[in-house]
Amino acid sequence: MARGPEFDNIELHLIRVLHTLLTERSVSKAAMKLQLSQPAVSAHLRRLREATGDALLVRAGNGMVPTPVALELLEPATRLLSEAQRLFGVRERVRSFEPATSEATFRIGASDYLDPYFLPRLVTEIKRAAPRVSVELLPLSAEFDIQRRLASGDVDLVIGNWLEPPEDLHLGRLLTDEVVCLVAKDHPAVRSPRTWSVEKYLECEHVAPAPLHTGRESLGVIDAFLDAHGLHRRVTVRSAHFGQIPLMVAGSWLVLTTGRLFCQRYVDLLPVRIVRCPVGFPPMNYYQLWHDRTHPSAAHRWFRERVRDVARSLAGASWGAPLRLPDVTVTPDARRAARGEGPRTDRRGVE
């Protein structure tokens, strides 16, 4: 404790000077590398000698050599500078990202509602461009607290479709998709399309995914829309395994109501057909959501761009050109401003 004041006067720059002097073994070479004058480096060397009680560098012929004490200090000085870079090199990490050498881990919360090929294709593209990164795919459920998981870092990105996405998160629009019905090839909606009315639709037995949200949003976008218009359908099967629902539809008269992009993948694989939905549902909007925590990161920006590109390439390749939303990122404040509301005063660093 008696030496506390001495340590308080040693700044990180002095450690860098020490490291450079010991590796260059020359005041003049150290001055050039540090972009300082020789007198300045000599003054730093005097401070270091006073702090350590050792000469550190001594003359030997035409050059200088480190003392045994100095050689013992080299390794901890190297380690200290490395740790300081980890602590304070945030700006550099934020501004640059090298996919080919990165060992980052990306955690994404998503279902396969958008397209059964989406997540496999995303992983393929990520690993092709960044072979050393890790990708963790987390399923969405009613217990999945999106805001909390994003804020805590448990997940970096969440993909889904919402009538009203959470207000306090950044939003990246991916695409929109037409709402259609997937039914068995011998379903009455296929055999008698002219009688396929709203009433017939509501009377059918429906299959739907398990809720991904709590509260009113637990209805999902389809049932929330019906509820808002005073309508109700008979959902007799709910499944947490969305990718298995087309198999259920193929062997029954269950009706699946979802985006065309998802349904299209199964038309050539199963005895199912896509029919128009007699209810005038609005298009499904798919988004990716993220928190301020990862907003400025170059690595996460790169990851979000891959998500966007993969989602839209699958949409374009599958059934032509679905209606797409503008290629923009919408900050929480921008979304509030669009409704004539003022920005929140507790947000920083948004685009």
Q: Quote the percentage of the chain above a pLDDT of 90.
A: 42
pLDDT band at 211 (very low <50, low <70, confident <90, very high): confident
Give the residue among 120, 107, 110, 116 at the shortest CA–CA distance from 144.
Answer: 110
Q: What is the mean pLDDT of residues 77-90?
A: 76
Give the pair of three-digit tokens for residue 23: 């590796």
Q: What is the mean pLDDT of residues 208-216?
A: 67
Any residues with CB less than 8 A from the CB of 215 and at least 6 apart, and which?
Answer: none
Q: Give the DSSP letter string of 172-183.
A: EEEEEE-EEEEE
pLDDT at 10 over 80: no
Any residues with CB less than 8 A from the CB of 349 and at least 6 apart, and which?
Answer: 292, 295, 296
Phi-psi domain of 105 (left: phi exceeds 0; alpha: psi -120 through 50; beta: other): beta
Residue-wise pLDDT for 113-135, tens only, equals 778 888 999 999 999 999 999 99
What sign has the CA pseudo-torsion 182, 185, 189, 194? positive
Please say whether the beta carbons of 242 and 140 come within 8 A: no
Give the global pTM. 0.63
Q: Say how far apart CA 172 and CA 300 lie, in whole Å.
A: 13
pLDDT band at 321 (very low <50, low <70, confident <90, very high): very low
At 98, the amino acid letter reads: E
Give the pair of three-digit tokens for residue 123: 């992983």
Residue-wise pLDDT for 231-265, tens only, equals 999 999 999 888 899 999 999 999 999 999 899 99
Give the pair of three-digit tokens for residue 263: 């349904």
Q: Say how far apart CA 100 and CA 4 lie, in whole Å.
A: 45
Any residues with CB less than 8 A from the CB of 346 and at least 6 apart, and which?
Answer: none
Query: Residue 116 gets which letter from DSSP?
Result: T
pLDDT band at 91 (very low <50, low <70, confident <90, very high): low
Please say whether the beta carbons of 205 and 255 come within 8 A: yes
Residue-wise pLDDT for 21-43, tens only, equals 988 898 888 888 888 888 898 99
Give the pair of three-digit tokens for residue 33: 């590398």
Please say whether the beta carbons of 225 and 275 come within 8 A: no
Give the residue among 312, 261, 316 at the shortest CA–CA distance from 288.
Answer: 312
Q: What is the mean pLDDT of the chain?
A: 83
Query: Residue 115 gets which letter from DSSP?
Result: -
Residue-wise pLDDT for 41-66, tens only, equals 899 889 889 888 899 889 888 888 98
Q: Quote the percentage of the chain above a pLDDT of 70.
A: 82
Report pLDDT for 218: 60
5 φ/ψ angles, rounded to the nearest 5 degrees: -60, -35
148 φ/ψ angles, rounded to the nearest 5 degrees: -65, -45
pLDDT at 339 over 90: no
Residue-wise pLDDT for 179-201, tens only, equals 999 999 999 999 999 999 999 99
What sign has the CA pseudo-torsion 219, 222, 227, 233? negative
pLDDT at 284 over 80: yes
